[in-house]
Structure 1
């Protein structure tokens, strides 16, 4: 992805951020299946790092199918910061009456922000972290953080060596460098891997330009090139959908004439939709895969394209394109296969069998959302998901009935309703407990996040590090009033930090550390949902892929009969 205009430092790159879709305990639900390919693993983020960890028992991946999946990473060129998503439910929706709950992700508005000044035409890079590259040696010796600086220093030392032997023909040193870099036995050296070893690169290094500046320059494209080879990625913003049960939707940020490519859609293939199946938790530990009771599918299914005669799913990733909702009578965009001139789309793959995608390491297919009529600014964008989807939805609506759902209260609702009320102590909860699906969490980093001295002396909360929170389940021991301010004393188990893990391996420390926090403010305590209790885990929640029209779907992929 490239910047279409200049961005100032800390400026957001979109009007609104992206949806984030939890992928929950997939290895646990697929236990017994053996090894299976899941290309999304190359595109997802750690769910716990984005605040999704409370949803699961073991592991949670976060599909962030906008900037989070579309932006590349070059650690020394990172110019985009990606924040955490918000977790909110559109007003008025409740499982006791609304069949749409659980069918869409409540995690949304994950914003991408300029980490530094970004010039128009500059490629955008997010931070995957060093660990991501270290786990993928097949990618080659890609430089890690500060790698370009180290490689530049290495070349400077070569220049010094050459300068000390001025009597030796310069061509000898050029041949020596070429031989060393291209045929060195240290094939996995990230310092040597940083060099492309081209004539132009060498010329710029000789002009004392650093490798970092060279790579930034190489990542630039002209506005003309972007218009010819790219597609605008900010035609869409998020908003509350005009269709209540859909939650949020996509709205045009500008007038879009008929024929406009509203969004380019690179596609991640899932060759067998069964990998998204979810099973009864008790059955997972006691029964073989074929004997378990299936309770549903991963929420990701609702955001993917498929066909009733195929096991294949194609999951799009593009900023906010996954927010486009279904409406057969108001559809104003359609799906078409991508243009190879504008993106990574290889049309020859449409004639290959599904099994040919089994070893895919990256996305090589793409579609486009194209306007089928003029779309006005702020108009909601709709796609016809197909007759099969429409029938499944109508059947779902007619059968919606969850016994006992009237009493359900989510953590989101409780945090809104009780943000200014007392938090009950553990003793009070013996007589007046919170709902079974709710747990109390405390911020172990509260004194790092706010000015502790100012709070202790004047009970004024001044946030100094807004994103440094670290919430863990806690016990509320007592509370007291000091000059009109309620203060809490809590205890919690803090899991080990990275630097403590080696001590744990040697048996020198316990796995968790019990800590006590005294006189903390109300803002350091929140309610959280227990694993598998939010709407997306309802067995009754709607699941259906978006249907690819028969006229588009390749016959080579039709490997199953309609269920």
Structure 2
């Protein structure tokens, strides 16, 4: 949530953000469900002191006070109905005319990422999981299989604590299993994975663990169906969400499961490779109505007299900038220093300009321009 006259952005922490936009400003472009007639809900600042004791206080704070806040939640909004809502009717609210205009332009101008961008092979993980098609197998028991795309496979799995303790308590660390042939590996370390069915009533305590899909069995009953109901051989890897390391992993041993059901295998997106990280992903705040937005937060309003946070960097400073917040730092130059510690930067390697970069994504650097030197048949910096 934000306002065009402010650098402040408010990030929601509840599922209320899943409420879709609609409006009757443009015929059929942003429909409001079956009933039509505009949104059936709106947002407002929390007004009930029984469940929210902070919002009214923070609405009187300055931007600088907001920036120094340590609380994880400062403000709350209420979603309230603007008319009677029928059972089963979807809830809609208006994101604002500027958001709507930006979205329409994005839809009209968006193009597939270019070759060399790192996203040219991007695949939507939701589409892959809905299709439930066949999975590419590695046929490799030893090496972890890495997908060349933006996704990886996970398998629905859980540990049987008692079985795990009994099975591996007497084992010492040993990765000598890698010297065995495939048949011996599966004979010693493979077990049936038929019971690992997601959402089965008696097994609802499982979770998705990283896995490699090694082999597909020829046991599907619909060869021409777009959905795959075959079973697979998979290798399970420790989940990073675990507090305790599985005994088999701490002993250096693998976990192979045979006859593993296809419906218990899903795709997850690799870090920083989801739709929102595409180079031209749509980004625009939901607009907070001007009549409820505090005046002291409008630091982009002409003639604003508020207190500016002192900027660390100035125009032409050489820095390292975190491109699109992806965790990679590149040489850049400050093109413009704005209020509230926001900057426009120019990346040195390709002259790309990134605007409105928060100071948390910039750090000092003493890099200098180094001329190219010719060494043999290659150029080096």
Q: TM-score, normalised by structure 1?
A: 0.35
> Which has the larger helix fraction?
1
Q: TM-score, normalised by structure 2?
A: 0.49
